[in-house]
Structure 1
Amino acid sequence: MPEKQTPKSLGYRWPAEWEPHEATWLSWPHNRDSWPGKFTPVPEVFARFARTIAAFEPVHILASGAALEQAEQFVGGTANILLHEKGTNDCWIRDHGPWFLQHAHEPAALVDWGYNAWGNKYPPFDLDNAVPEYVALELGMRRFSPGLVMEGGSIENNGQGTLLVTSQCLLNPNRNPDLSRSEISRMLSEYTGADRVLWLFAAEDGSIPGDDTDAHIDQLARFVTGDTLVAVANDPAEQGRARLPLLDTLQTQLKSLSDAQGQPFTVIPLPLPNPVFYEDQQLPASYANFYIGNGFLIYPTFRCARDASTGKLLKDLFPGREIIGLDAVDLVWGLGAFHCASMQQGLAHPRPVSA
Structure 2
Amino acid sequence: MKLNTAITLPAEWYPQSAVQLTWPHEDTDWFPILEEVIPCFVAIAKEIVKREKLIIVCRDIETVKEQIGKTDYSRVIFRTIPSNDTWARDHGPISVLKRKKPYIYDFQFNGWGLKYAANFDNMITTGLYSELVFPAYVKYENCLDFILEGGSIESDGKGTLLTTEYCLCAPNRNEKLYFEEIENRLKRMFGLRRILWLSYGRLAGDDTDGHIDTLARFCNEETIAYVSCRDKMDEHYRELKLMEKELEDFRTLEGKPYRLVPLPMAEKVEWNGERLPATYANFLIINGAVLVPFYNSPRDEEAKEILQQVFPDREIIGINCLPLIKQHGSLHCVTMQYPEGFVL
TM-score (norm 2): 0.91
Identity of aligned residues (%): 34
Gaps of 5+ in 1: 1-5, 350-355
CA contact (8 A) 2:5 2:192 kept: no
Per the alignment, residue 213 of structure 1 pairs with 208
Q: How does 1:258-297 map to 2 (within 5 A)?
A: 258-297=251-290
Per the alignment, residue 3 of structure 1 pairs with none
Per the alignment, residue 155 of structure 1 pairs with 153
Task: Tell me whether 1:93 sits opposite 2:88 in the alignment.
Answer: yes
Q: Take 2:68 and 2:172, find their aligned partners in 1: how far apart are those partners? A: 37
Q: Which region of structure 1 is more displaced relative to structure 2, 112-121 or 272-281? A: 272-281
Query: What is the alpha-carbon root mean square deviation over aligned residues?
Result: 2.0
CA contact (8 A) 1:211 1:283 kept: yes
Shift in CA distance, 288/105, structure 1 to aligned 2, threshold 3 Å: closer
Aligned to 1:148, what secondary structure does the other structure show? strand
CA contact (8 A) 1:162 1:196 kept: yes
What code does the residue aligned with 1:91 have?
T
CA contact (8 A) 2:96 2:104 kept: yes
Question: Residue 227 of structure 2 is aligned with which of 208, 225, 232?
Answer: 232
**Pairwise CA distance, 1:12:** 3.0
Q: How does 1:47-126 map to 2 (within 5 A)?
A: 47-65=42-60, 68-75=61-68, 78-79=71-72, 80-103=75-98, 105-106=100-101, 108-123=102-117, 125-126=118-119
Aligned to 1:197, what secondary structure does the other structure show? strand
**Pairwise CA distance, 1:195:** 1.3
Q: Take 1:48 and 1:242, find their aligned partners in 2: how far apart are those partners? A: 32
CA contact (8 A) 2:42 2:68 kept: yes
Shift in CA distance, 50/340, structure 1 to aligned 2, threshold 3 Å: same
Shift in CA distance, 163/33, structure 1 to aligned 2, threshold 3 Å: same
Q: Take 2:8 and 2:204, find their aligned partners in 1: how far apart are those partners? A: 34
Q: Take 1:277 and 1:144, find their aligned partners in 2: how far apart are those partners? A: 40
Q: How does 1:109-258 map to 2 (within 5 A)?
A: 109-123=103-117, 125-137=118-130, 138=132, 139=134, 140=136, 141-146=138-143, 147-201=145-199, 206-235=201-230, 238=231, 244-258=237-251
Q: Which region of structure 1 is more displaced relative to structure 2, 296-305 or 182-191? A: 182-191
Aligned to 1:310, what secondary structure does the other structure show? helix
Q: Take 2:22 and 2:281, find their aligned partners in 1: how far apart are those partners? A: 21
Q: Take 1:266 and 1:343, find their aligned partners in 2: how far apart are those partners? A: 26
Equivalent pairs, count: 334
CA contact (8 A) 2:223 2:261 kept: yes
CA contact (8 A) 1:211 1:335 kept: yes
Per the alignment, residue 295 of structure 2 pairs with 302
CA contact (8 A) 1:32 1:39 kept: no
Gaps of 5+ in 2: none
What code does the residue aligned with 1:290 have?
F
**Pairwise CA distance, 1:76:** 6.3
CA contact (8 A) 1:301 1:326 kept: yes
Aligned to 1:330, what secondary structure does the other structure show? helix
What code does the residue aligned with 2:161 have?
L
Task: Tell me whether 1:327 sits opposite 2:320 in the alignment.
Answer: yes
CA contact (8 A) 1:149 1:176 kept: yes
Aligned to 2:187, what secondary structure does the other structure show? helix
**Pairwise CA distance, 1:69:** 3.7
